[in-house]
Structure 1
Amino acid sequence: MQSFYPSQIIEYLYCPRYTYFEYVLRIPQYEDKFYKVNRGREVHNEKLERNKEYLRKKIGVKEKWLDQYLGTEGLRGKVDEVLKLNDGSYAPLDYKFAQWKDRVYETYKQQLYCYAILIEEVYGGKVEKGFLVYTRSKNKLVEVNIGENAKSEIRNSMDKMLEVIQGNKFPRATRVKKRCVNCTYRNICIK
């Protein structure tokens, strides 16, 4: 069975052709060249040493698990922190090497939705919210609601990704054409 990382699902939601180019034609993106990706990875490695305990107290954390690699049928990923809250529910917490700009990007939400599915299946508890920590804004903590519709959208996307891969199916491009400007596949993609 094919197993996806949250980043692969996010790419599919951004434009379904990412899945085709990377997993059917096997043309890699070479995203490691981008500074922000590499710096973000460094921050994830540094955060365990410097994380502020007050963030967890503010949230109401009963238990925590750091750097959890979780896998289920069809989905896998590494969650920065899995939190068990005082009310018995669970929540993912993810660190972002980014500044808070008064809004949560869809890609950040989608990543939390993926983590919610993983946590519910592995830990057996309910996930109704997640948290983001913006490391370039003095560790600003932002809460994100996670509803059943959001989790369903992720599961539906995983099914559609499998259709693309298993059926060797060339999907429609994103309808948001400005996304094509910075796409790593823009030179080979048929518009």
Structure 2
Amino acid sequence: MYSFYPSQIIEYLYCARFTYFEYVLRIPQFEDKFHKVQRGRDIHQEKLERNKSYLRKKIGAVDKWQDQYLTMEGLRGKVDEVLLLADGSYAPLDYKFAEWKEKLYDTYRQQLICYAVLIEQNYKRTVNKGYLIYTRSSNKLVEVPIDQQSKREILKSMDFMAEIISKNQFPKGTKFKQRCLNCTYKNICIQ
């Protein structure tokens, strides 16, 4: 069985051919390491070391576990914080080195859904929402609802990814051709 990180599932959801190029043909993406990525990692580490109890109280968290590496069959990842909420449910909290621009990016939402699946599997508790903290907007807190259908879609995606790899299948490309313009595989992908 294959084990994927949330970032790999997000790539698959963006375009299934990422899975094919990266895991069947084993062609790495060779993405440049931008300053923002490294700065984001530094900020992330700082946030894990600081006590943000005022945000957790605002959320209604009664307990927390920081920097949790969780695994299950087919999925693994490190959650910045796992929160136990007052109603008995759990929620992932993720720090983003980004500004809040009144729009929730689908990649951030998908990452939280992956974390929700991991939390439910490992803690055996329901996850109905997650939280994002935008560090470049004075730690703006954004609540993200997570429904059962979204969690099922993540699980189905993992199955489709495993099928692409195990059967050497060349999947259909994305329907959104604008995505191809900045793709790291655009020079070798047949549209």
The TM-score, its normalising length taken from structure 1, stands at 0.97
CA RMSD of superposed structures (Å): 1.0
* Structure 2 CA distance for aligned equivalents of residues 190 and 32 of structure 1: 23
Number of the residue aligned with 1:174: 174
* Structure 2 CA distance for aligned equivalents of residues 45 and 32 of structure 1: 21
- The answer to whether the aligner puts 1:27 opposite 2:27 as a matched pair is yes
Moved more, 26-35 or 130-139: 26-35
The answer (yes or no) to whether the contact 1:16–1:172 under 8 Å persists in 2 is yes
The answer (yes or no) to whether the contact 1:92–1:116 under 8 Å persists in 2 is yes
Map of 1:46-125 to 2, 5 A cutoff?
46-125=46-125
Structure 1 residue 103: deviation in Å?
Answer: 1.2
Q: Which amino acid aligns with 2:128?
A: E
The TM-score, its normalising length taken from structure 2, stands at 0.97
* Structure 2 CA distance for aligned equivalents of residues 32 and 79 of structure 1: 24
Number of the residue aligned with 1:17: 17
Structure 1 residue 38: deviation in Å?
Answer: 2.3
Secondary structure of 2:174's match? coil
Number of the residue aligned with 2:160: 160
**What is the total number of aligned residue pairs between the two structures?**
191
* Structure 2 CA distance for aligned equivalents of residues 11 and 125 of structure 1: 27
Secondary structure of 1:127's match? coil
The answer (yes or no) to whether the contact 2:64–2:81 under 8 Å persists in 1 is yes
Q: Which amino acid aligns with 1:114?
A: C
The answer (yes or no) to whether the contact 2:76–2:118 under 8 Å persists in 1 is yes
Q: Which amino acid aligns with 2:107?
A: T
Structure 1 unmatched runs, 5+: none
* Structure 2 CA distance for aligned equivalents of residues 98 and 52 of structure 1: 18
Structure 1 residue 51: deviation in Å?
Answer: 4.6
Secondary structure of 2:188's match? coil
Structure 1 residue 37: deviation in Å?
Answer: 2.4
Secondary structure of 2:56's match? helix
Structure 1 residue 155: deviation in Å?
Answer: 0.6
Q: Which amino acid aligns with 1:116?
A: A
Number of the residue aligned with 2:151: 151
